[in-house]
Every structure is written in structure tokens, then in C-alpha cells.
Structure 1
Amino acid sequence: MTDLDARSREVFQRLVESFMETGEPVGSRTLSRRLSVTLSPATIRNVMADLEHEGLLYAPHPSAGRLPTEVGLRMFVNGLLEVGSIDTVESARIETQCQAAGRSLETMLEEAIGLLSGLSRCAGLVVAPKTDASVKHIEFVHLGPGRALVVIVTGNGVVENRVVEVPRGLPPSALVEASNYLNARLAERTLDEAREAILGELTDDRGLLDVLSRKVVAAGLATWSDERTGGALIVRGQSHLLEDVNAVQDLTRIRALFDALEAKEQVLRMLDLVNGAEGVQIFIGAENDLFTLAGCSMIVAPYQNSRREIVGAIGVVGPTRINYRRIVPLVDYTAKVIGRLIG
């Protein structure tokens, strides 16, 4: 960006901003109305020609205006993008939707990406924490007649809460005994291994401890992850990608993206892209192998457990002209809320 003079920089910035608003090629007359300085359409065309020569712009056909290339969009994001801040109404909505008390981790993540998809008008996706870690502790907390909160702490620092139904009239002491019963059988085992062990011991004529244990198993605390990868991918809001299709070629790209999203084992590589990274990562078009054919961008942020280890990622997928200024802080804030809640 430092190689561009002030005039070229402003023309480039206003062109990209116009493209993000409309998705249409931007002509010299449109730019002349957006610039802070007065330039003739001929001068603007000369500047645009220079930017095209540098590989930052291109013309979809000879008589059209100009569009930013993926290289141009990357330079805009790195050098000119002014990231906004999330407003108090949106932050309050995210906090409320993500509250995990009495709900499973899966439900909390689904609520989070559903809201993020709606706010960004993009497809939201999240990589859930792997559940192949050993169980460190499990505990029942009495909530009232017939209800108990199950708290599970895994060896990788993830905490999951879930409300389950228990026999009415069950004394609090039975919950303590149930916790001890399960902890003795869960030690150093994964949730799947513990589930199989408990199922092997349960019989129809056993007492309240087994009834309660059966409730925990039936709650499916360990059954929602992807068995092949150990992590889970949840995608919501694909329909948003169809709301702003400007041309047949855009529809073709969106279809290719849908195919990629269906191949979940490929999308789970998103976690690898952000592993060890700080904050929000932005992948534009071919920068991400997954979207080489889709012409889309992905904004994604990792979330961490209580030991500040990256255990998952959340983000959105949309066209390359998505509103980076607005969406980056949304993704960043949501990832931080999730990390705080699971920790």
C-alpha cells in the first residue's frame, strides 16, 4: 500500500467500498462522486488503469467498470480496512444467546452460530471441541424436584453443563453418591469409553444410582461429535448465501461452496487454519484451498478453553464482498464469549 500515492490509494479505497455495497463493477463517474478531492472521469480512468496493471483491479468485460481482484481485496483488508466495533445491543444478544447454563455445549454453539449467521447475513459455521479427551470430573447439582444439573469437566479443559430429569424425591445425598459412582468409572476414560462401560453395567433391577446413570447416558453427552474426526462441524444459514446473487456465475460459485460445506471432513480443516493464530483470521478466495472454486471469503476466530488452548473455531462464509468492517468484530466477540463460557 505504501507504493501507491495518495490519489491512487483513495481511488482504490472508494472503489472497493462501492463494490462491497453493490457487488457491481464501479465506473469513473461513480467514483468521482465518492472522492474527497475533485478529479475528472478521465483522470480516474487513468488511475484505475494503473491499478489494473498492478493486479489490484480487473474489468469483467471491456466496457464495464472495474472490480477488485482477490489480491486487491487482501491489500484493502490488510492496509485500508477500518474495523468497526460491536454495539451494545448486538453484544447483549450474543451474550444472552450463548449462555450455556442448563444447556449442552452443542446447543450453545448452535445458538451462537445461528445468531452470528443472522447478524452477518452469511453462512455461519463452528468447529466444536473434540470430545476424545478423558473425563476429569463429573458432578450432579440439585436444581429442584425431578431436575439436576450435570457438570462435566474434560481433560482438555472444556466444561459442559446439561439439565437432566431425575426421579422425583431423590435426596441430595443420592446425587453425591451418583457423582462418586460415575467418577470412579470415568477416570482416565473418554466420554465414549465411559458410556460403553456404564451401559455394560446397567441392568433393569438395579437401584437409583443406575437409574440416574441411565439418565446421564440417555442425555447423549458424548454422542454428538463426529466419530471420524473427534470434532463436530455445525453449519447454519446457508440460505443467506443465495440472497444476494448478482449473476449466473455467482450462483455457480455458491453451488460449489455448498458442495464443499457438505464435505465436512474438508471444512474441519478450518481449525487447523487458525490453530496457534491470534484473533480473527480472514481468508479471501483462493487463499483458502476449500474455497478455490467458490469465490468466497471466510472470517474465522479460534476460541480457547480455561487453559488458553485452542479447542474450536467459529466463523462465517460469504461472498468476497462481505462487510468485513462489521463482521470481523462480530466473529471476534462471539469467539471470546464462547471461550469464556466453556472455560
Structure 2
Amino acid sequence: VGSRTLARRLPVTLSPATVRNVMADLEDMGLLFSPHTSAGRLPTETGLRLYVDGLLEVGNLTEDERANIKSQCAGTSSSVEGLLEQATQTLSGLAHCASLVIAPKTESPLKHIEFVHLSPGRALVILVTESGVVENRIMEIPADLPASALVQATNYLSAKLVGNNIADAYDGIMAELENQRAELDVLTAKLVEGGLATWAGGDTGSGGSLIVRGQAHLLEDVNLITDLERIRGLFSALETKEQMLRILSMADRADGVQIFIGADNTLFNVSGCSMVVKSYRNEQQQIIGAVGVIGPTRMNYSRIIPMVDYTADLIGGYIGLGAGR
């Protein structure tokens, strides 16, 4: 912004020269910078941090905005995964930024598990937890797999998993399969192993999955090759399990919405990007996931913070009630 523009908009009468002097002082303090000689000043990441921590006035969502987010998140999905997918899309669309949700791992004891044939080469694995959460995953199966194998796999896993959670039973089931003590034929044993892998993701102790949507918003203002490389690096970081766990760990450090600005954001070490994130909890007030927005450091914090805050509380409430009930 230039000094003349500021002088016109200020509620007090100051000359452009006075404004330039003040801006020069702020630049010396490292709070503003000028991208090139003839340009106006822009806030540095330090300046933005000062603004967000001490000067920002966070707005409230209107009743219409709350109703809009709630209706879009609820949608018609009967699964937690569907709820989180819709929440991510909704938040990205409203904030005009990329959004992310860390999905909770299935820790509640299981009430029902079933393999359902969909089409040649595809089956649906259905899990219902004792808390009422319904989860559906599609897995690939041999095209000629007989229906009896699906029934046998369902019966075997029901006996092992109902009343337990996957993480607790995983090692014992895999040991039985490896030692051929499960009394299953080869095809059914592979089906059981594939079903467990679909749910456990090969890592039963490190949390759920990461959903990211709206990445295209990060490319809207990319003008330089260096900016493009920076965004590519961010995309790569978001694809790693380690980053997902770090996001959840950072969100766990304090209650409420957390704001990470620019290069001081140790999650990505990416200059020019900020993240607004909040964890969500189950009925026992345990942190089970997080929801957030990633965008340019100049994002509209006063609008995005209440969006993230409300969406996180909404997700926690739906999961606590049991999605699909």
C-alpha cells in the first residue's frame, strides 16, 4: 500500500509525507518491506505476526454462514470419511484457500464388520463402531473371487474384531495369518489381510489419513518460478505421513485455533504461506484430528479463523454423536 492511499483512508488528518516517515520507521523495525523501489510497502511475516497476535479483530460468522457450513458438512453422507471430505471441500470454497482435515483413526471397539461384493475385482468393506460411526472403504479383490470367500472373511474378522478395535487385534490376526493358524484358504487369507491393510494403512499406531482439497487456490497468484517451486514443495510436504503427525502435534499444543505464519511455521518452512488450524475432539475430549486452511500470508485471518473454529467444533460434534445415525 502507498502513503497517499493510507493518508486518504486514515480517520485522522496526516500528510502523505508523515505517513511515509512512519512507514520508513516500520520498515527499519522489520515490520514492512518494499518489493521494489517504486512499490508500496507490504507487511513482513514478523509484521503479520504482530498484527495477528495483538491487533486483529476476529469477526463472527453470521447465522446464515453457520447454517451454510452445517448443511454442507452434514450433506447426505453416512460415513465419517464422507463428512470430512465434504467439510474440506466446504472450507476450501468459503476461504478460497487450500484446506485440510486429519481424519481420526478408528479406535472405538467394533460392532459390525462385513465384506460386500460390488463388481468383478471390487469389494466394499463396512465397519460399524460401538459409538455408531459407519465407515466404508472400497478394496480391490481377484476378479474370480468366490462369494464364499467374502462370507468366510466376514465371519473370521467378526470373531476377532467385534468388541475390539483394529489396533489392538491387528498384530494377533497377522500372526495367525503368517503362521497359517487361521484355518482359512489362501484366497480368503489374502482377502482378510487386504481388508486389514485397507483400514490400518500399514501403520496402526500413527493416526488417520490426511485429506487436502483446494490446492489450486494456492496457484492463483503464482507469478514467479520461485513461487511455483515453493508451492510444489508444500504439496510434497502435505503428502507425507510425518507432516500429518506434526500438524496434529502442533494443533495439540493449545486449545483453540492455532496460526502459523510464513517461514516461522516449522511444519513446512515455507515462506509466503500461513496455516490456520484447530484440533477436534471426541466425547471424551480426546484430540482425534484437526482441520485447517493453508493460504498466502495475506489471507483474510479475521474471516478464516472463525470458519476453522466453527468447522472443527462441528466435526467433533458429528463424530461424537456418531456419523450416520
The two structures share one fold, judged by TM-score above 0.5:
yes
Residue 92 of structure 2 contacts residue 293 of structure 2 at CA under 8 Å; is this kept in 1? yes
Within-5 A mapping of 1:1-343 = 26-99=1-74, 103-131=78-106, 133=107, 135-138=108-111, 151-153=128-130, 159-162=132-135, 182=158, 185-190=161-166, 193=170, 200=182, 223-224=198-199, 226-228=201-203, 229-343=206-320
With 182-191 and 68-77 compared, the bigger mean Cα shift is at 182-191
Separation in 1, partners of 2:45, 2:265: 12
Contact 2:110 2:127 in 1 (8 A): no
Structure 1: which 5+ runs fail to align?
1-25, 141-148, 165-177, 204-213
What's the Cα RMSD here? 3.6
The alpha carbon displacement at 1:44 in A equals: 0.4
Residues 97 and 108, structure 1, Cα contact 8 Å, conserved in 2: no
Q: Is the 8 A contact 1:282 1:300 kept in 2?
A: yes
Report the Cα distance in structure 2 between the residues aligned to 1:106 and 1:119, rounded to whole angstroms: 20
Moved more, 111-120 or 86-95: 86-95
- Measured against aligned partners, the alpha-carbon deviations of 1:42-74 in whole angstroms (never above 9, x if no partner) come to 100100011112221112223322111111101
- In structure 2, relative to structure 1, the CA distance for the partners of 1:81 and 1:236 (3 Å cut) is same
Shift of residue 244 of structure 1?
Answer: 2.5
Rounded to whole Å, the distance in 2 between the matches of 1:39 and 1:248 is 40
* Residues 1:327 and 1:219: Cα distance change in structure 2 (over 3 Å): farther
Change (3 A) 1:163 1:318: closer
Runs of 4+ in structure 1 deviating by more than 6 angstroms, as ranges, are: 217-222
* Paired residue secondary structure (1:125): strand
Classify the secondary structure of the residue corresponding to 1:339: helix
Number of residue pairs aligned between Structure 1 and Structure 2 = 285
- What CA deviation, in whole Å up to 9, does each residue of 1:189-231 have, x standing for no partner? 426739958995778xxxxxxxxxx9xx899697255434332
Unaligned runs of 5+ in 2: 114-125, 138-153, 186-190, 321-325
Between the aligned partners of 2:27 and 2:287, the Cα distance in structure 1 is 40
C-alpha distance in 2 between matches for 1:151 and 1:221: 14
Distance 2:159 2:89 in 1: 34
Percentage of identical aligned residues: 55
Shift of 1:186: 2.8
Give SS of 1:290's match: coil
Distance 1:280 1:291, change over 3 A: same
Write the distance in 2 (CA, Å) between the matches of 1:70 and 1:161.
Answer: 43
2:273 counterpart letter in structure 1: C
TM-score under structure 2 normalisation? 0.75
Name the CA shift for 1:95/1:225 in 2 (closer, same or farther; >3 Å). farther
Q: Which residue of 1 aligns with 2:144?
A: none
